[in-house]
Amino acid sequence: MSNALPRSATTVALLADIPSTGHVGEAGAQRFALRGDGVGGRSAAFVAFAKEEARAGRKVVALYPAWQASDAERAVNFARGALRTDHIAGIGVDLSPLALSLIADQLAYLAPYLPPGMVAALSDELPKHLLAGAWLRTVSGLSTLPTSLRQHMGSYAPSVSFLAYCAPNAQVGRLRPSEVADALPFRPVQPVQLLCSTPDPSITKVFDENLPRAIQPVATRTLPAQPLGATYWGTGKYVEFVALSAHPQALAYAAGSIRAAACSWCGEPMSAKPCPFCAGNSTGSLTRAHHTAAAPPGGGPPPGPRPQAPRSPAPQPQAPRPQATGPQAPHSPAAQPQAPRPQATAPEAPRSPAPRPQATGPQIPEPQSSGPPSPNGNPAFHGAPGPGNRPPSPGPGHRPPGPSDRPEGPAFQDRAPQPESPRTYSR
């Protein structure tokens, strides 16, 4: 039984006239120079290639130079629209032609061992582990990197030259032989290999005397000039270079430094938003909505503090209420209905009944509110009304309580008016 890991179904393509460096051997990205008459003619080869890859169940990561992106973006859009798929990701990389060629080949080398989303994420991570740039005789035509007016004016001096870096950071500075080693923005892990190319081998003397001494590579390879080198650097007098680590674990370290999260739409891991495949702009699981408290079974409002009715500053004694002249409610030993209380915010503390002048019948105790609330919001007695579990019935001489809107509860007509002390409510 084989212990080999499953190989990923990812193909890397480079949409520009940028030849391969050959640094990773046969594992290189598919190149499409985008030549032809019209946009359709320049995109036809890539669309046909993407169609074959989609039928084979593979996803395509298409790199292109961000400083020359119009034709490449149209080719990617044509392929996605013709195939009606989001398995084609177009990624613009802001690197020089030599550095972009190396990055594309490194991604093609890693593609069989990583998911498509990780391959796309490495297009931003791998340049952080390179030192790429060029020696320039002049920066008067350089538009892809930030330059100052002073640097443009210095380009007219006969003895002034510049070192421009595009990775890991974009910066341009004057070449001072005594400061080259200290001014390097990045040093790859030893051992270091140096790749360089130039359209004019006769102008490499200043470069050979300064940069290799500062980098100290174990090997230097001279490659043919890139066709788009003069377009990127804005001049034909340049020496383009890329310094990279030749350590066996260099690429594995770069791949392990990515912190990616799965796209919530297509599931591909991504380290930046939006997703390069589906353009989704969220990662991980969807955020669950905050659920409010559930309503009680009786259909009332959610549990919580209820608004209280305004209370008077101090209780005032009230006069006896006149007897009702209308027909009286029939006396029944069953539980008497009570009017809804407007401020039943908490259980009431038990209180002792006030003395009555007529004690002809048994006293009626105040109902205890220790049971569960009834559907109308009032405290209920323990258990359901029944022969063995009923509230005590009033004795002779007492009438059933009439409707009342006082917050302290119903009043009996034959009860002597007594001042009541202020009541407290506990939560």
Q: Average of pLDDT values for 142-164?
A: 92
Q: Which residues contact 385 (CB under 8 A, 6 or more apart)?
A: 334, 335, 391
Residue 299 φ then ψ, to 5°: 90, 10
Residue 425 φ then ψ, to 5°: -125, 130
- Residue 295 pLDDT > 80, yes or no? no
| pLDDT tens-digit series, residues 191-227 | 999 999 999 999 999 999 999 999 999 999 999 999 9
H or E segment to which residue 115 belongs: none
- Residue 243 pLDDT > 80, yes or no? yes
What DSSP letter does each residue of 62-100 carry, written as one string? Answer: EEEETTS-HHHHHHHHHHHHHHT-S-EEEEEE---HHHH
pLDDT at 284 (0 to 100)? 59
Per-residue pLDDT band for 264 (boundaries 50, 70, 90) equals confident
pLDDT at 43 (0 to 100)? 94
pLDDT at 379 (0 to 100)? 43
Among the ranges given (162-171, 211-220, 262-271, 296-305), the one the predictor scored with the smallest mean pLDDT: 296-305
Tokens of 355: 């003395």
The verdict on pTM exceeding 0.85 is no
Residues 128, 168: contact at Cβ < 8 Å?
Answer: yes
Among the ranges given (26-30, 75-79, 407-411), the one the predictor scored with the smallest mean pLDDT: 407-411
For residues 251 and 129, what is the distance between their CA atoms, to the nearest angstrom?
Answer: 9
Q: Which residues contact 384 (CB under 8 A, 6 or more apart)?
A: none
- Residue 300 pLDDT > 60, yes or no? no
Tokens of 279: 């353009």
48 vs 319 pLDDT, higher one: 48
- Residue 372 pLDDT > 80, yes or no? no
Residues 240, 134: contact at Cβ < 8 Å?
Answer: yes
Q: Average of pLDDT values for 361-365?
A: 43
Q: Which residues contact 251 (CB under 8 A, 6 or more apart)?
A: 106, 109, 110
Sheet holding 162-167, edge to edge: 171-174, 162-167, 131-136, 238-245, 192-197, 219-223
pLDDT at 404 (0 to 100)? 46
Number of H helices, E strands in the chain: 8, 12
pLDDT at 176 (0 to 100)? 92
Please give the share of the chain, as a percent, with pLDDT higher than 90.
Answer: 53
pLDDT at 361 (0 to 100)? 43
What DSSP letter does each residue of 282-347 carry, written as one string? Answer: -BSSPPPPPPPPPPPTTS-PPSSPPPPPP--SS----PPPPPP-SPPPPP-SSPPP-PPPTT--SP
